[in-house]
Amino acid sequence: MDPLSTLSSIFERFPGIGPRQAFRFVQFLLRHPAVRRELADALSRLGSSVHQCPQCRRFHAGAHALCNLCTNPVRDDTTLAIVAHDADVLALERSGTFRGRYFVLGGLISLSSERAPHLAFDELKRLQNEKRFAEIILAFPVNPEGDTTALKVREVLGELGVRLTMLGRGLSTGSELEYADPETLKTALENRR
Amino acid sequence: MDPLSTLSSIFERFPGIGPRQAFRFVQFLLRHPAVRRELADALSRLGSSVHQCPQCRRFHAGAHALCNLCTNPVRDDTTLAIVAHDADVLALERSGTFRGRYFVLGGLISLSSERAPHLAFDELKRLQNEKRFAEIILAFPVNPEGDTTALKVREVLGELGVRLTMLGRGLSTGSELEYADPETLKTALENRR
Amino acid sequence: MDPLSTLSSIFERFPGIGPRQAFRFVQFLLRHPAVRRELADALSRLGSSVHQCPQCRRFHAGAHALCNLCTNPVRDDTTLAIVAHDADVLALERSGTFRGRYFVLGGLISLSSERAPHLAFDELKRLQNEKRFAEIILAFPVNPEGDTTALKVREVLGELGVRLTMLGRGLSTGSELEYADPETLKTALENRR
Amino acid sequence: MDPLSTLSSIFERFPGIGPRQAFRFVQFLLRHPAVRRELADALSRLGSSVHQCPQCRRFHAGAHALCNLCTNPVRDDTTLAIVAHDADVLALERSGTFRGRYFVLGGLISLSSERAPHLAFDELKRLQNEKRFAEIILAFPVNPEGDTTALKVREVLGELGVRLTMLGRGLSTGSELEYADPETLKTALENRR
């Protein structure tokens, strides 16, 4: 495959990028050798300076092995939120409610089983053994992959006697009954309070 | 105002219809006198056969004064869901979970205060006095109008000693943490279980 | 069929309206008897005051039989634009370029042949015989129905020795080559100037 | 700036990419070191094997200096299409109408004047002097930047006595008069034929 097609096919694997936009990225890089060089440099720097926090498994570029959330002394050590992706940590932080610790599983169990990511179940079990959290929140998306992953985490952690919770389900901000799907209305009715 | 503009301005008051589509409706009716006549007939039939259920305040075309949900003997008489619109009754029925009775308020308290609909607070109070429900679910949309209306219903019913609940809030079907708004993540964390 | 369903099915025939929005219109009219009455009145006034211009076949509510464009003495009598719909007259007027006369065919030849509208070919021929325009512009949409209708108009008018033109085709305002369809680029190349 | 933010800011300069998607790209690359390496390799290969055709200024990875369109012996040597971007060449080829030669200017004159790309006006003039095309088509997008660039090309080439044309403007495939902008209808009327 010629270099342009190779580069295009790599961009097609980026999240949300189709053939047409991948092609435009290649055209853009052809016209901008400086961006090309900066990108190559940034990739190389990324490889050498970014590392995974050995505790929460987030990627970060901090000076220490542990990330700034894991070393923060005022966070609540009794609660752990397990999430799929690094981006979910940022989303929960934005909501300004959760003050506990995090653990990034590295993805969700794939129901199509192709390109299944390695998920950090062993590391999770070890962490729970060390830390003995009082509550572990399974903070996964509301879809079949999220539910399957939650089931697996319960299985892995089940015997440890920790309280396992899931994020509340129901109507989200802005929801109108008329446009809500029946499953959401069902959980909204079940979780009424 | 000429008849075309008058008709157009009436269609502009229809939900979700702007000037351009209102104009297209008028053009459509100009070209289709048969539809025009059918519409006039249907409006006249609607006026004479549809009536409001005196209990739940839904509009229906049944043979009796009470609607088919109010006369259904197997519904649960201890629970009442208060909704804003007739369409919300259908939405909750589609979810297949709720088996109680309904009450249609006729709208929501408008925060802009223009075109405030008449809401059936008096009728609601009378119904609760007669029926003595054990639980009343405030099934309103998750937005400022819904919250304001819920507050007002609590005020109206507060002294009656009935248990008032609201639909559960949190992540709806298909939600991913990364794209959820902070407010929804906040309630999802608070309502975890 | 009960009156609600009848009314809903009529609204579903309106341009661009699906079952869900038709249902919302019915709910809206149920809750707003005043709008219902105004709509019925407007429909009845429409029937009695609006009429079709015998020359251009536009619908209008003017005091005279002929519409204000047909009676306008400063329009160019040598050029005629044939359009499908009344709305196309307004669109061409908005562009501020055309100063000739109009003729509304009443629709396009339907390729699916269901609900074929009656098209005013006979009236068009008569008009051309009376008026002897120097140029007739076939101002139809750029789609198979528009092209088929243009073909038929040519057939009807062919022997009259008038110059028949079509609206120019090519790149429209804002078009970028990368996103233009091949057919449009083809005509843009052919019609370069 | 830390390596993650640096990488994110580079992706934000990609066409059509905002901060959120740039961040997701970084997360994706963090989780997929293999893709990171492939991307670095592809960028390096691109730098060494891709080059600009000295005649039409397209980027290509062919074995020769000239690209396959410039060396194609059956193309028409009397006509030249000047385009802004490499992607425009592909768009015109897809339309299957144009058989002449190309010249890629490298962008459009920017009206906001920030990040103005270097445009190959000198090379264009030299090419025209050498080749003496009978017609040069200014195949630019229909927007202010396209029009300004066309004006500048006319200025640069004006004294050469070559016939300069522009892509035809008017209704594009699928256009309906009702939804066409007034400017497009104006050119469609002017370019009628």
What is the model's pTM?
0.71
CB atoms near residue B146 (< 10 Å): 23
Chain B residue whose CA is closest to C60: B4
- Euclidean distance between the first and the last CA atom of chain C, given in angstroms as a whole number: 60
In terms of phi and psi (left: phi > 0; alpha: psi -120 to 50; beta: otherwise), the region of B139 is beta
> CB-CB: which of A168, A174, A181 is closest to B168?
A168
In terms of phi and psi (left: phi > 0; alpha: psi -120 to 50; beta: otherwise), the region of C85 is beta
On whether residue A183 sits in a domain, the answer given is no
Interface contact flag, D177 C97, Cβ < 8 Å: no
CB-based contact (8 Å) between A19 and chain D?
no
Q: Which of A76, A88, A145, A172 to mutate to test the interface with B (most CBs of B within 10 A)?
A: A172
DSSP string, C84-134: SSHHHHHHHHHHT---SEEEE-SS---SS-TTPPP--HHHHHHHHHHH--S
Least confident range from B119-123, C119-123, D56-60, D112-116: namely D112-116
pLDDT digits over A135-164, tens only? Answer: 999 999 999 999 999 999 999 887 767 899
CB-based contact (8 Å) between C47 and chain B?
yes
Instruction: Tell me the shortest Cα–Cα distance from A139 to chain B, in angstroms.
Output: 8
> For the domain that residue A105 is a member of, what is the CATH number?
3.40.1360.10
CB atoms near residue C113 (< 10 Å): 7
> CB-CB: which of A90, A169, A177 is closest to B168?
A169
CB-based contact (8 Å) between D73 and chain A?
no
On whether residue B55 sits in a domain, the answer given is no
Are C80 and C39 found together in one domain?
A: no
Are A27 and A73 found together in one domain?
A: no
CB-based contact (8 Å) between B107 and chain A?
no
CA distance C24 to C32: 12
On whether residue A146 sits in a domain, the answer given is yes
On whether residue D34 sits in a domain, the answer given is yes
Contact residues, chain D, for A22 at CB < 8 Å: none
pLDDT digits over A5-29, tens only? Answer: 899 999 999 999 999 899 889 988 9
pLDDT digits over B34-72, tens only? Answer: 999 999 999 998 888 889 999 999 998 888 999 999 999
Are C60 and C117 found together in one domain?
A: yes
Are B27 and B73 found together in one domain?
A: no
Are A33 and A87 found together in one domain?
A: no
pLDDT digits over B137-188, tens only? Answer: 999 999 999 999 999 999 988 776 789 999 999 999 989 998 899 999 999 9
Are C36 and C62 found together in one domain?
A: no
The predicted pLDDT at position D177 comes to 92
CA distance A85 to A79: 18
CA distance C192 to C189: 5
CA distance B107 to B122: 14
Give yes or no for residue B115 having a pLDDT over 70.
Answer: no
Contact residues, chain A, for D84 at CB < 8 Å: none
On whether residue D114 sits in a domain, the answer given is yes
The predicted pLDDT at position A115 comes to 58
Give me the mean pLDDT over the C38-52 stretch: 90
On whether residue B188 sits in a domain, the answer given is no
Are A159 and A81 found together in one domain?
A: yes
Helix (H) or strand (E) run with residue D185 in it: helix D182-190
Contact residues, chain A, for D44 at CB < 8 Å: 40
Interface contact flag, B182 A96, Cβ < 8 Å: yes
Interface contact flag, B43 C42, Cβ < 8 Å: no
- Three-state DSSP state, B89: helix
- Compare C21 and C31 and report the one with higher pLDDT: C21
Interface contact flag, B86 C30, Cβ < 8 Å: yes
Reference C84, options C20, C176, C147, C13; nearest CA is C147
Reference A27, options D30, D83, D70, D127; nearest CA is D83
Are B26 and B85 found together in one domain?
A: no
pLDDT in tens, chain D (193 residues): 788 899 999 999 999 999 989 988 998 898 888 999 999 999 998 888 888 999 999 998 888 999 999 999 999 999 999 999 998 999 999 999 999 999 999 989 988 765 556 899 999 988 888 888 999 999 999 999 999 999 999 998 877 678 999 999 999 999 999 889 999 999 999 999 8
CA distance A94 to A88: 10
Interface contact flag, D46 A59, Cβ < 8 Å: no
Contact residues, chain A, for D31 at CB < 8 Å: 59, 85-86, 106-107, 117
D148-167 residues touching A, CB cutoff 8 A: none
On whether residue A193 sits in a domain, the answer given is no
The predicted pLDDT at position D157 comes to 87
On whether residue A186 sits in a domain, the answer given is no
Reference A81, options A43, A124, A117, A111; nearest CA is A124
Instruction: Tell me the shortest Cα–Cα distance from C32 to chain D, in angstroms.
Output: 32
> CB-CB: which of A92, A165, A180 is closest to B177?
A92
Are A82 and A161 found together in one domain?
A: yes
CB pairs under 8 A between C and D: 176
CA distance D160 to D122: 14
> For the domain that residue A19 is a member of, what is the CATH number?
1.10.8
Give yes or no for residue B78 having a pLDDT over 70.
Answer: yes
Number of domains present in the structure of chain B: 2
Binding partners of D (≥3 Cβ pairs within 8 A): A, C
Alpha helices in B51-164 (DSSP H): 68-71, 86-94, 121-131, 144-157
CB-based contact (8 Å) between C2 and chain B?
yes
Interface contact flag, A169 B167, Cβ < 8 Å: no
Give yes or no for residue B88 having a pLDDT over 90.
Answer: yes
pLDDT digits over C78-96, tens only? Answer: 999 999 999 899 999 999 9
* Residue C31's pLDDT band (cuts 50, 70, 90): confident
Are D44 and D78 found together in one domain?
A: no
Are D39 and D71 found together in one domain?
A: no
The predicted pLDDT at position B113 comes to 65
Alpha helices in chain C (DSSP H): 3-12, 19-31, 33-49, 68-71, 86-95, 121-131, 144-157, 182-190
A115-154 residues touching B, CB cutoff 8 A: 137, 139-143
pLDDT along chain A (193 residues), means of 10: 89 93 90 90 88 92 91 95 93 93 93 73 88 92 95 85 91 90 92 90
Contact residues, chain D, for C168 at CB < 8 Å: 168-171, 187-193
DSSP string, chain A: --HHHHHHHHHTTSTT--HHHHHHHHHHHHH-HHHHHHHHHHHHHHHHH-EE-TTT--EE--SSSS-HHHH-TTS-TTEEEEESSHHHHHHHHHHT---SEEEE-SS---SS-TTPPP--HHHHHHHHHHH--SEEEE---SSHHHHHHHHHHHHHHGGG--EEEE--BSBPTT--GGGS-HHHHHHHHHT--
Amino acid C37 reads: R
Cβ atoms of C63 and C77 within 8 Å: the answer is no
Are D25 and D82 found together in one domain?
A: no
Longest dimension (CA), chain B: 61
CB-based contact (8 Å) between B16 and chain A?
no
CB-based contact (8 Å) between A14 and chain D?
yes
Please give the DSSP secondary-structure letter assigned to residue B133.
-
Angle at D70 between CA D49 and CA A26, to 5 degrees: 40
The predicted pLDDT at position A113 comes to 65
Contact residues, chain A, for B187 at CB < 8 Å: 168, 170, 173
Residue A108: domain span? 64-166
Instruction: Tell me the shortest Cα–Cα distance from A68 to chain D, in angstroms.
Output: 14
Q: Is this prediction's ipTM beyond 0.85?
A: no
Chain A residue whose CA is closest to B165: A193
